[in-house]
Amino acid sequence: MADSSILELQRRCHEERERLVDAMMKEAMFQKKSLRDQINSDYRQKVLLERSLENVQELKDLYEDKDGLRKEEIAALSGPNEFTEFYNRLKSIKDFHRKHPNEICVPMSIEFDELAKIRENPSDEMQDLVQFTDEEGYGKYLDMHECYNKYINLKGVERVDYLTYLNVYDHFFDIPRERKNAAYKDYLMTLLTYLESYLSRVKPMLDFNEELSIVIEEFDKKWAEGAFPGWPKETSGALTHSGAHLDLSAFSSWEELASLGLDRLKSALMALGLKCGGTLEERAQRLFASKGKELSELDASFLAKAKPGKAVKTKESEIHKEIAYMEAQIYHYSELLSEQRAATRENIQRKQARTVNEREESDDEQMSDNNDSDDDSNDIPYNPKNLPLGWDGKPIPYWLYKLHGLNISYTCEICGNYTYRGPKVFQRHFAEWRHAHGMRCLGVPNTAHFANVTLIEDAIALWQKLKASKDVERWRPETEEEFEDSSGNVVTKKTFDDLRRQGLL
């Protein structure tokens, strides 16, 4: 640049910031006719946003003026020799243009005008700003074949087809804890990497840091409570291994402590992390020596040594928590990709129902649609009533919307007050993971007896009634088993045993 003035740099940064804000506003208001346009627009907004953040950081550094150059420049311009400074700068500009006579400076307005032209009339090269595989259909569907291949090679998991895998790939609570080993962790890493990559491509404006903070907050809370799916809290033997604290303020000598007995003193010493062996007098003296003191103030010989098994158990617990955290991220990302997941299932079912010729024709149509920039197939039609889209990407007729009952919503308390639209989806959810997990948390089997039961109170009451009826119907040999004596008389087992003991048979 001919002029490297700090104030000129500030002016240019302010101009660039205003133009960036204006470009982002126009990009947000631009009408997107297809999913491709939406993804490309989000990608352009992300680039503009990152450039704006860099611009703001540069402005901040200029205003902080850590090197003092801005202050010196202002002093030179406002000093008694301002004309001398002016002519010096004029001379430097002339010298620059004399040395670079063919230098062309492109105004910033032209750069942003070019961005507007690309947005309104994109070229063939600007149609594919984001890289997707052919199976993903530029963000329409998921391509989880690599994850599926790793899943079916895990030991101890049920072998399922790809369509079933799309339904159950996040049912981690159905996999036993002992099966969650290094191979399982490697599979989770592959699945998590793909979901993050796909989300970053299909939703470029998504703030992953914010999403991860939400996941961490919910995960830490559920993990501490032992309520995370598939990872119940282990509480067995807690009192035996940790001991029970004892208030020493009520005791004035170790002889009084000795009156409590060996077991109580051992429990109190374990609670403090002190050695719990020795005779009754040694335990009482060791415990009384800790009265009113911190552990750091006690003699090192009083402290218990750490058991090697405890360190192994702690390391194992950390590994389990790491695996569970990866599962929590996948749960959250699956919720964000619920629409793409449903569209992928429908696309797979539609492909499976076609013949070979129909598949070839569909592939040819898809290639022609890609050449035509998906203008015809991906146009967003007029949909004022917000009707669901059919298999062809167009809103279904309103009479079909009413026929399937999609205007009716059903709420299931067992699923955490989740709402389902339409009776078909509502009936299908009883066999899905959300309802099955809710029933498992209640301790109730998800059998056909509980069909259409959505309230927690009703499910528990029905389970109690079923258990009572099973107790009544259970076969009792002492009253229902029959025996025949030598005379041909049929009696119960109890009567037969009594007669035999009395020698009457």
| Assigned domain for 166 exists | no
Q: For residue 206, is it within any domain?
A: no
The answer to whether residue 320 sits within a structural domain is: no
Indicate whether 481 and 461 sit together in one domain: no
DSSP state of 178: G
Mean pLDDT of 8-12: 86
Residues 390-418 as b/e (b if ≥16 CB within 10 A, e otherwise) read: eeeeebbeeeebeebebeeebebebbeee
Residues 505 and 456 in one domain: no
Is the torsion defined by CA of 331, 336, 342, 343 positive or negative? negative
Same domain, 36 and 91: yes
Say if residue 411 is in the same domain as residue 498. Answer: no
Kindly state whether residue 145 falls inside one of the protein's structural domains.
no
Instruction: Output the CA angle 63-65-67, nearest 5 degrees.
Output: 165
Q: How confident is residue 373, by pLDDT bands cut at 50, 70 and 90?
A: very low
pLDDT band at 367 (very low <50, low <70, confident <90, very high): low
- Evaluate whether residue 428 is within a structural domain: yes
Tell me how crowded residue 245 is: count the other CB atoms within 10 A of its CB.
Answer: 11
Summarised one tens digit per residue, pLDDT across range 39-49 is 888 888 888 88
Asked if residue 71 is part of any domain, the answer here is yes
> Is 150 within 8 Å of 142 (Cβ atoms)?
no
Which candidate, 122, 50, 67, places its Cα nearest to that of 373? 122
- Sequence-distant (6+) residues with CB within 8 A of 365 are none
Provide the 10 A C-beta neighbour count for residue 270.
19
Half-sphere exposure of 359 (CA within 13 A, CB side): 10
Pair 413, 493 in one domain: no
**Residue 401 is encoded by which pair of tokens?**
């919307």
**Residue 41 CA: distances (Å) to CA of 22, 113, 156, 201, 382:** 15, 16, 44, 12, 21
Residues 92 and 39 in one domain: yes
Of 246, 281, 305, which residue constitutes the final position of a domain?
Answer: 305
Residue 481 domain boundaries: 475-505
Q: For the segment 411-427, what is each residue's pLDDT rounded down to a tens digit? A: 999 999 999 988 988 99
Determine the pLDDT at residue 307: 56
Judge contact between 492 and 481, C-beta under 8 A. Answer: yes
Q: At residue 114, does pLDDT exceed 90?
A: no
**pLDDT confidence tier of residue 281, bands split at 50, 70 and 90:** confident
Bridge pairing between strands 490-492 and 418-421: unpaired
What pLDDT was estimated at residue 240? 39
Q: Residue 431 has what DSSP assignment?
A: G
Q: Are residues 479 and 432 in the same domain?
A: no
- Whether 26 maps to a domain, the answer reads yes
In sequence order, the 6+-apart residues with CB closer than 8 A to the CB of 120 are 30
Examine the domain organization and report whether 501 and 402 are in the same domain.
Answer: no
More confident residue, 96 or 360: 96
Q: What is the pLDDT of residues 205-248, one digit of tens each?
A: 888 888 889 989 988 888 888 888 888 765 433 333 455 677 77
The pLDDT tens digits for 70-112 are: 887 787 777 677 677 778 778 887 887 788 787 777 677 777 7
- Domain C-terminal end among 91, 120, 149: 120
Domains of the chain: total: 4
Q: Is the pLDDT of residue 29 over 80?
A: yes
Q: Are residues 38 and 103 in the same domain?
A: yes
Q: Is residue 319 part of a domain?
A: no
pTM for the whole structure = 0.55
- Decide which of 132 and 374 is more confident: 132
pLDDT (tens digit per residue) in 243-271: 567 777 777 787 777 777 777 788 788 77
Last residue of a domain, one of 260, 276, 305: 305
436 with 484, same domain: the answer is: no
